[in-house]
Amino acid sequence: MRGRALLILAAAAATLFGCSPGQKKTEIALQRFFGECGAVYGQTVDLAKAEGECGIVTALINKFNAENPDIHVEVNIVAWPGYTQLASQMAAKDPPDLVTMHQGVISDYSSRGLLEPMEPILRHAGIDPAGFTAASRLGVTKGGTIYGLPWDTIGGLFHVNTKLFAQAGLMKGGKPVFPNSPEELLAQARQFKAATGKPYFVQSQLNDAATHVRNLYTYLIAQDATIFPDPKHIQLQTAEARRVLALFKQLNAEGLSTVNQDNPAAIATFLNGGGGVFPTGTWMIGGFDQEAQTPGRPLYQSYAVFPYPRLWGHAASFVDGHSWVMPKRKRTPEQRAAIVRLLAFMAAHNFDWSRTGHIPASQAVVDSAEFKALPHRGDIAPLAQIGRPLPGYVRRQGAIEGLLGEDLGAAVTGQKPIDQALADAERRVDELLEQTD
């Protein structure tokens, strides 16, 4: 008993003196995007009270700082996506300690030796990469080496207006009926249009390279097509790619999809009940679900969301994800220890982050009842398994997306013949990849 009292006293003394205001804190620099919301969440440490990407990440770091008085995480918020600034900091040999990075971008930096391999650090933090979802593990693994702590999986989903689906007779057992082949998709889309007078698809096809690329990559992966046979080439002049583009072109040509809409216009159309399915990302779940909870709105109690249906081959989805990476730089042992603690903290709060709508990187969280109790998460959870990023050796994925998006968009809207669009896209991407060292 006495020993226990002494122990408590010692712990109290350690807390008091060890963390006195005079103690020098270990400072680590964290750089992130997701915006600035200090006005709302600057003091929030209760994670349940934080909403959205910005709110949750702000509250998480507040909480970490509050619970670790010997560490101060200095946050630098950069304009999305922040890679211009990161490259600049690396050139000036002054990068931050931890950075948010899309998993598809990691190879641009890891291939130049600018990032620290993370496996030893994750091990110190008690994080077992075997516990990551398949999509996340693949996303941060480049050339067999793990370069980041994956935080989530982001990808395309079919956001559905269930009221219109019911009107079209496309609901069964309270769930939307999805097609299993391109022919079925066309048949259901025609049925939908005949019953509702509205297009089956609401699509953002203007100035939105990501939409076209997501559709193509997803259905190429589903067909087991090789997209990048090696680090310097893309392979697009294939029967698999032609099939995908032909389908989306036909949907446009038959008026089964909205056309000439950019992302804000497509979102507004979907929110106002202008179509059945909006293929867009995980990040829209929160906004759409809010509409589904608002009486009087067209989506009221009429919203569901699922991964892209299998149309060819097997169920698959092209995905990316957010991760925390460590740029190479000099650090003190104390800073390394602080980073380890922060990474452990972030991994331990993966569920809180999943409230953003993104799929958690931890398989245990994906499987948890807590996660599945969140709206629609049980329906989208398979994305963690069927999600596939591009091969780890593919660099310049962002730039490639921009190039591909232009030609794919031209093909599905009928501005270019499909064969020409694929040939042009292949040539342009190969020229870009040729420039990588």
Partner 1 sequence: MRARVSPLAWIAVALGAAIVVAPLLWTVLLSLKANSELMRDSGTAFSAPYTLENYHSILNGNMVFRWLLNSVIVSTGTTLGVLALCSLAGYGFARLEFPFRRTLFVFVLLGLAIPEQAVILPQHRLFADLGLHNSYPGLILPGLAGPFGVFFMTQYFRGIPRDLDEAAMLDGASRLTTFWKVLLPLTMPAQATLGVFTFLASWNSYWWPLISATRGNMFTLTVGLASAQMNYAQTSGLGFLMAQAVFASIPIFIVYILFQKHIVRAMSGAAVR
Contact residues for partner 1, defined by CB under 8 A: 33-40, 42, 52-54, 75-81, 84-85, 87-89, 91-94, 263-264, 267-268, 271-272, 283, 287, 290-291, 297
Q: One-letter amino acid identity for 242?
A: R
* CB of 77 or CB of 227, closer to partner 1: 77
| Residue 105 tokens, joined | 């971008």
| Residue 354 tokens, joined | 């999943």
CB of 35 to partner 1, least distance (A): 4
| Residue 345 tokens, joined | 């903290």
CB of 263 to partner 1, least distance (A): 6
Whether residue 111 contacts residue 399, with contact meaning beta carbons closer than 8 Å, is answered with: no
Residue 153 makes CB contacts below 8 A (sequence gap 6+) with: 133, 135, 136, 139, 282, 319, 320, 321, 358, 359, 360, 361, 383, 384, 387
CB of 118 to partner 1, least distance (A): 23
* CB of 114 or CB of 423, closer to partner 1: 114
| Residue 287 tokens, joined | 């906004």
CB of 262 to partner 1, least distance (A): 9
* CB of 80 or CB of 393, closer to partner 1: 80
CB of 180 to partner 1, least distance (A): 31
CB of 339 to partner 1, least distance (A): 19
* CB of 309 or CB of 409, closer to partner 1: 409
Residues 382, 377: Cα–Cα separation, whole Å = 9
CB of 88 to partner 1, least distance (A): 4
| Residue 410 tokens, joined | 């031209």
Quote the DSSP letter at residue 203.
-
Whether residue 189 contacts residue 201, with contact meaning beta carbons closer than 8 Å, is answered with: yes
CB of 207 to partner 1, least distance (A): 10
Q: For the residues of 97-159, what is the DSSP string, one character each?
A: SEEEEEGGGHHHHHTTT-B---HHHHHHTT--GGGB-HHHHHHHEETTEE-SEE-EEEEEEEE
Place of tokens 């409230």: 355
* CB of 278 or CB of 308, closer to partner 1: 278
As a residue count, the chain comes to 437
Q: What is the CA radius of gyration of the chain?
A: 24
Q: One-letter amino acid identity for 92?
A: A
Residue 284 makes CB contacts below 8 A (sequence gap 6+) with: 159, 267, 278, 357
Residue 76 makes CB contacts below 8 A (sequence gap 6+) with: 29, 30, 31, 32, 96
CB of 66 to partner 1, least distance (A): 17
* CB of 100 or CB of 385, closer to partner 1: 100
* CB of 34 or CB of 219, closer to partner 1: 34
CB of 85 to partner 1, least distance (A): 5
* CB of 99 or CB of 216, closer to partner 1: 99
* CB of 61 or CB of 245, closer to partner 1: 61
Q: What are phi and psi of 318, to 5 degrees?
A: -75, 130
Place of tokens 């066309």: 186
* CB of 280 or CB of 363, closer to partner 1: 280
